[in-house]
Amino acid sequence: MTLQQWCSNGWLRPHTPSSQEIANLLGIVERDLADARSAISDDWRFGIAYNAALKLCTVLLYAEGFRAERSLQHVRTIQALPLILGPSRKNDAIYLDACRAKRNTVEYDCVGGASQADADELIEFVATFRDDVLAWLARAHPNLVPP
């Protein structure tokens, strides 16, 4: 499927991003990466790193001219990743969806659901993913790259 087909299905809606909006999202990513590296619980470190990853997926989707509808918003935003960056990123979307489920558990159901290794792994992923998203943005949508 394509993003346009997702839009036709009602899963996405058109969105016109601005470079300021993208800059704001990337600012959240930087803040969240810094906070996730701080001395707080592993559950919170994991949740904050997940938020940074979700914001990077949002940057991709916005830059392509779409935003996810409220229903299954996180799921759709993550699932769009390989549609935008290519099928080689399918495993990244699968990983982030597993992180989404774990984040929901530690946010709403129980304490201690994320280990230090879980948080460290996600933080490392987000740092690399950020670089990939910035490089893609510079190639695909240079007008949206923040100054």
- Helix segments in the chain, DSSP class H: 3-8, 19-36, 42-63, 73-79, 81-85, 90-108, 116-140
Q: Is 99 contained in some domain?
A: yes
Contact assessment for residue 113 and residue 43, using Cβ atoms and an 8 Å cutoff: yes
State the maximum Cα–Cα separation within the chain, in Å, rounded to a whole number: 45
Would the pLDDT of 147 be above 90? Answer: no
Q: Is 20 contained in some domain?
A: no
Q: Is 61 contained in some domain?
A: yes
Residue ranges making up the domain that contains 56? 48-140
Q: Is 30 contained in some domain?
A: no
In this predicted model, what pLDDT tens digit does every residue of 119-133 receive, in sequence order? Answer: 999 999 999 999 999
Confidence of residue 95 (pLDDT cuts 50, 70, 90): very high
Q: Is 145 contained in some domain?
A: no
CB atoms within 10 A of CB 54: 23
Mean pLDDT of the chain: 96
Distance of CA 134 to the CA centre of its chain: 13
Overall number of domains in the chain: 1
Average pLDDT of the segment spanning 127-140: 98
Q: Is 39 contained in some domain?
A: no
Q: Is 124 contained in some domain?
A: yes
Q: How far apart are CA 82 and CA 84, in angstroms?
A: 5
Q: Is 98 contained in some domain?
A: yes
In this predicted model, what pLDDT tens digit does every residue of 2-59 receive, in sequence order? Answer: 999 999 999 999 999 999 999 999 999 999 999 999 999 999 999 999 999 999 999 9
| CA proximity to 65, closest of 84, 37, 52 | 84
